[in-house]
Amino acid sequence: MVGFVLALGGMAGGQSAPSPTEAAMVKTVDAATPGAVELLEKLVDINSGTMNLAGVVRVKDVIAPQIEALGFTVRWNPMDKVGRAGDLVAEHPCPLRAGKCGKRLLLIGHMDTVFDAGSPFQKYEIVPGTNGRVATGPGTCDMKGGLVVMLDSLRAMQAAGVLKDTEITIVLSGDEEDAARPIAISRKDMIDAAKHSDVALEFENAFRDGGVDGVDAVRIGRRSSNTWHLETSGKSGHSSLVFGDRLGYGAIYELARIVEAFRTQLREPGLTYSVGLVLGGGKAVMDKDKTGGTATGKSNIVAATALANGDLRTVSEEQTARVKAKMEAIVAQHLALTDAKISFDEAYPSMAVTPASEALLAQLQDVNATLGFGVEEVTDPAGGGAGDISFVAPYVPGLVGVGAMGTGAHAVGEVVYLDSIPKQAKRMALLMYRLSEEK
């Protein structure tokens, strides 16, 4: 998973001792840890698979009052119109005037999980033989642990008396694992909030290289996730006439030509693309949800139609645009008497690494030095999937995955390293405090 490791910040400067305010926040987090783990267990035991709308609302009902108690105004925006539960927007305005509380912070995350109400994976449990250090359950690291980290860090700031002088917006989606379309509706609150923020912190699960005793990691980029659909057609007839001037090559050879050209001509660093479904024959129809379909044909025909779909993951929007153009050019070079067209669905954009996000990372490494945590690894954006921060990345620099650490996200058996919860809460409390102190 770790493609390259950058060492940025916190290396030469050495350790700067925490200020009295920072030391107070560290103490608060330590004292709150048993309660934080209890909250995690409670949240994990509520099934909130994306399509279990009532379950997502129950998670919201647990955390909304806790966010309100921190002095935020909380709003619930139902998303029934797009078939999802809704999103939570919480605002903590600067008491002076907008923009007068240092950096305006946007905290994002999600309340749903990939485990639906029928999943066999429903309960929080300590993993036997780990000395109580590792817990398993749906959403333990992705990302109910992150919700706990977020609350924990804000509480530490409140107890130290510094939360009141901050300008923070929290947006938690209820459908990160299966975002409703159109994005213009389902991600409107997140995008609007990004437009009046200076820094985004995404409390998604974080990576620890080497397992529970490994090295903590963070990311400042995420790849895009795009979906493409390919449809080819040809003249059908008896197979003995294939390659000739009456029938040409048929739809399946045309599809094979395109897919093979993708394989050999598009490869470049940071880019992957896969073909996940192919149908073809005399007739081929893909289901509406594009996860299956039907095809009919036989061995002695030239195929009339063929369909394929796949993905395209990129590290920048420049790469997306360039590769899409190359794919379109390949598609256009039809074999004799065939036709083909490619289309792309609305995508998760990429979050490219920028100088602003590198500067933010350096500040995080300074916090690590203060806390005596050592330098965090920076993982390759290519290693992970797309996420909500991608929608806000065009407007604000951000850190990806500042929530709980663990492994196995999206699979039965997902785990969280429990010590990462207070660790990340300390990091985020100090980082948010320092950002709010900036003029």
Residue numbers of the site for Zn ion (CB under 5 A)? 142-143, 204
Closest CB to Zn ion among residues 204, 366: 204
Nearer residue to Zn ion within complex by CB, 173 or 370: 173
Cβ proximity to Zn ion: between 87 and 142 the closer is 142
Is residue 86 a contact partner of residue 151, using CB atoms and an 8 Å limit?
Answer: no
Cβ proximity to Zn ion: between 136 and 365 the closer is 136
What is the smallest separation between the CB atom of 219 and Zn ion, expressed in angstroms? 13
Angle between helices 145-159 and 420-437 (to 10 degrees): 50
Q: Angle at CA 108, nearest 5°, toward 107 and 110? A: 145
Distance of closest approach, residue 44 Cβ to Zn ion, in angstroms:
14
Looking at the Cβ atoms of 171 and 284, the one nearer to Zn ion is 171
Least distance in angstroms from the C-beta of 61 to Zn ion: 20
CA distance linking residue 299 with residue 282, whole number of Å: 10
For residue 35, how far is the Cα from the chain centroid?
27
Give dist(CA 63, CA 67) in Å, integer.
Answer: 6
Q: Indicate the residue among 297 and 387 with the shorter CB distance to Zn ion.
A: 387
Whether 76 contacts 63, CB under 8 Å? no
Would you say 140 and 416 are in contact if contact means Cβ atoms under 8 Å apart? yes
Between 173 and 232, CB nearer to Zn ion: 173
CB of 139 to Zn ion, least distance (A): 8
Output the smallest distance, CB 113 to Zn ion, in A: 8
DSSP letter for 265, please.
H
Q: What is the DSSP letter of 113?
A: B
Write down the least CB distance from residue 199 to Zn ion, Å.
20
Q: CB-based burial of residue 19 (10 Å sphere; 0-12 exposed, 13-18 middle, 19+ buried)? A: middle
Residue nearest to Zn ion (CB): 142
The CA angle 174-177-183, to the nearest 5 degrees, is 70
List, in sequence order, every residue forming a beta bridge with 283; answer none if it has no partner. 296
Shortest reach from residue 146's CB to Zn ion, in Å: 8
